Structure 1
Amino acid sequence: MSTPTDPATGDAPHAPHAPVVLDASDAALSTGSVARHLGVSPTTLRSWERRYAIGPAHREPGRHRRWTPPDIARLELMCRLTAQGVPPSEAARTARAATRAAVDEGPEPGPPAAPARGAAPGGSHALPLGEVRPECRGLARAAVRLDAPAVARLLDSALAGLGLVTAWEEVLAPTLHAVGRKWASAGERYVEVEHLLSWQVSAALSRIRPAEERPRTRPLLLACAPGEQHSLPVEALAAALGERGLPVRMFGADLPPGALHTAVRRTGPQAVVLWSQRRDTADEALVRSVADLGWGPRGARGHPVLLLAGPGWGSRAAARVPRTDRLFGLRSGLALIESLAAGGPPATGAARAAPAACGS
């Protein structure tokens, strides 16, 4: 569940994205730097350039690709659109058209004086959020102030007013990603902001009361891969499934392989969602071993559907293992899991139909 995924590579950038804030005087960035900003691999960016003509606007012969702020803004828009379920080719066309329109319009007459280099609305401590909901900006300001009570109130208000899925996609995830980008670009600064915000998001999700579990419904097992500490997207999924009365067995971060095997055998789940944020925690051998697990009497053995979530999984990980598929977003992932719980067919690529943001 992450966030939009390129069909050619399977990489999933964190989304919804906020534009990377770069001053006009900043040097153009390398492909590797832009890939880290977006949470994708350099291979994905090169694939997008080749397939959808969304590479750097200017490239000198014999030189490496260098991405300017308008190039990065175009990529950010494409990521946001694919996060909403727009096909990559259509998202690329829209992003290119929007860039052309911005260039054609030019600056409005009489603009105010440009801020100093590195300045941002709200001062040097403001988070680079881009075009987001007002709730997102208020949450970011409270997080930067380390105002935990205000963060808690704003999170509860967003979840109650917008609903969990919309609040996650349009408020919680964009703010978390903005904090992560600020931290990545500022060395060790803002780590305390990320920790406070992450803790408060986790606490807010835990305050959502689940509905009564549906009778005669096999449970859904949710866990992070061994070594994986990024559990917030799985916590959001667990809370959303609980709201719908689906029985969830949540095991959180860094579940050891043996414990995962035992949990599957003991619960006989309808599906197992296994989250991996990073490539080094995405263990395909573990995927195969879980997919092969069974329970019940001989001749009537049951097997779980295994759903791989998060940007750590490669593009072919699910295709190589039976009864295994990918989740690319909270909204589309919920739809697929509800279909399975209702007795629908095993995963066959349906999760790819509407990628949406879930990653953190």
Structure 2
Amino acid sequence: METFNDLSASLAEASITTGGVARRLGVSPTTVRSWERRYGIGPTGHEAGRHRRWSPGDVAVLEAMCRLTARGVPPAEAARLALEGVAPTARKGAGPEPREPGGSRALPLGTVRPECRGLGRAAVRLDAPSVERMLNRAVDDLGLVTAWDEVMMPALRAVGRKWLAEGERYVEVEHLLSWHVSGALRRITSCTDPAVPTAPVLLACMPTELHSLPLEAVAAGLSGRGVPFRMFGPAVPAEALTEAVRRIGPSAVLVWSQSRTTADVRLAQFAAATAWGPRGARARPAVLLAGPGWAGTGRIAGTVRPKTLADGLAVLSSLAMS
């Protein structure tokens, strides 16, 4: 017959510590403790002076809290719904919350889609599993262009603004979010040969430009359209860029510049003038100058400046298929 001590031991085995809960949810123990302190989501039956032990029912409430915040529900409302065991109604068409709760840790997102707001919350708490799930779901449900324009980019910009305002404090958030955005883009990118032989598109950053995520978004979009590409990524030396043009004979070259300090007008001119092919049949690529770094540099002959990802993909697809 089971004694009282045996029953107590079995209950202890069935419950887990705060650290164990955090590992299971993919969040930090600090986040779990802050939810308990702010919203009253704590272990039932906790005795003062003893370590907190979370029962399966307590963990289920926390899991519901994570699911709700991942959908963009504000934490206080998510906590109330999780404690009541009530799932929110579908939020399609619902307007975004006018204010981001969470105090000084909240990202300055402004008016954004609920998917972006949920992504920002997960990124701030370094909840990598939720960040990955939300990014993949955004791409699958919304399509690449909308997911990039309305979910990924607003979150990345907000992290950048927070990083500038807070100093080094938010660097880890930026790195985690960038890494998972790259993973979501690479998940839908392939380099398979097209059914009809087509000159590839060459994708490269300026020689001193290290921000290559926008190029990865372009690569994913071209892949979905069956347009071949060659990705050279960040900080491509000038000589390497022009040599690649001569060797590949691309249908177009897209060069990315994030800031005015990395935009090199002379290199753009040289790339637009670089020719390949046998004498008498020489050809030059169309050059697309993408990114905010090119603003204010004036018009450069032989180049095009797409304003959005959709614009760039439309131009590149048209050039590749012509």
TM range (shorter): 0.5 to 0.7
Gaps of 5+ in 1: 1-118, 344-360
Which structure carries more helix by proportion?
2
- The alignment partner of 2:305 has SS state of strand
Match of 1:203 in 2: 183
Residue 294 of structure 1, aligned match among 272, 275, 288: 275
Match of 1:235 in 2: 216
Residue 159 of structure 1, aligned match among 133, 139, 157: 139
- The answer to whether the 8 Å contact 1:223/1:251 transfers is yes
How much does 1:132 deviate?
A: 1.2
Quote the Cα distance in structure 2 between the aligned partners of 1:126 and 1:215. 49
- The alignment partner of 1:222 has SS state of strand
| 2:312 is aligned with 1:312 | no
Match of 1:245 in 2: 226
Match of 1:15 in 2: none
The C-alpha deviation readout for 1:157-205, integer Å capped at 9, x for no partner, is: 1111111011001100111111111111112211110011011101111
Relative to the length of structure 2, the TM-score reads: 0.67
- The alignment partner of 1:223 has SS state of strand
Residue 237 of structure 2, aligned match among 249, 253, 256: 256
Quote the Cα distance in structure 2 between the aligned partners of 1:324 and 1:134. 37
Gaps of 5+ in 2: 1-98
| 2:280 is aligned with 1:332 | no
- The answer to whether the 8 Å contact 2:119/2:135 transfers is yes
How much does 1:120 deviate?
A: 5.0
The C-alpha deviation readout for 1:193-225, integer Å capped at 9, x for no partner, is: 001101110111111143652422110000000
C-alpha spacing 1:314/1:174, structure 2 compared with 1 (3 Å) = closer
| 2:102 is aligned with 1:122 | yes
Quote the Cα distance in structure 2 between the aligned partners of 1:201 and 1:168. 9
- The alignment partner of 2:105 has SS state of coil
How much does 1:287 deviate?
A: 1.0
Match of 1:132 in 2: 112
How much does 1:262 deviate?
A: 1.3
- The alignment partner of 1:201 has SS state of helix
- The answer to whether the 8 Å contact 1:156/1:204 transfers is yes
The C-alpha deviation readout for 1:310-358, integer Å capped at 9, x for no partner, is: 11114344x232x211121101111112221221xxxxxxxxxxxxxxx
The C-alpha deviation readout for 1:258-282, integer Å capped at 9, x for no partner, is: 1111111111000000000111111
Quote the Cα distance in structure 1 between the aligned partners of 2:149 and 2:211. 17
Quote the Cα distance in structure 1 between the aligned partners of 2:300 and 2:287. 12
- The alignment partner of 2:168 has SS state of coil
Match of 2:95 in 1: none
CA RMSD between the two structures: 1.5
How much does 1:124 deviate?
A: 2.2
Quote the Cα distance in structure 2 between the aligned partners of 1:224 and 1:286. 11
How much does 1:148 deviate?
A: 1.1
Q: How does 1:51-200 map to 2 (within 5 A)?
A: 121-200=101-180
- The answer to whether the 8 Å contact 2:265/2:297 transfers is no
Quote the Cα distance in structure 2 between the aligned partners of 1:320 and 1:205. 31
Match of 1:356 in 2: none
The C-alpha deviation readout for 1:224-281, integer Å capped at 9, x for no partner, is: 0001011111110111111110001011000011111111111100000000011111
Quote the Cα distance in structure 2 between the aligned partners of 1:299 and 1:249. 26
The C-alpha deviation readout for 1:117-170, integer Å capped at 9, x for no partner, is: xx9512321111122111111111110011111111111111111110110011
- The alignment partner of 1:315 has SS state of coil
Match of 2:257 in 1: 276
- The answer to whether the 8 Å contact 1:226/1:257 transfers is yes
- The answer to whether the 8 Å contact 2:289/2:304 transfers is yes
Quote the Cα distance in structure 1 between the aligned partners of 2:109 and 2:309. 21
Relative to the length of structure 1, the TM-score reads: 0.60
Q: Residue type of the partner of 2:212?
A: S
- The alignment partner of 2:288 has SS state of strand
- The answer to whether the 8 Å contact 1:214/1:247 transfers is no
Q: Residue type of the partner of 1:338?
A: S
Higher RCO, Cα 8 Å, sep 6+: 1
Match of 2:198 in 1: 217
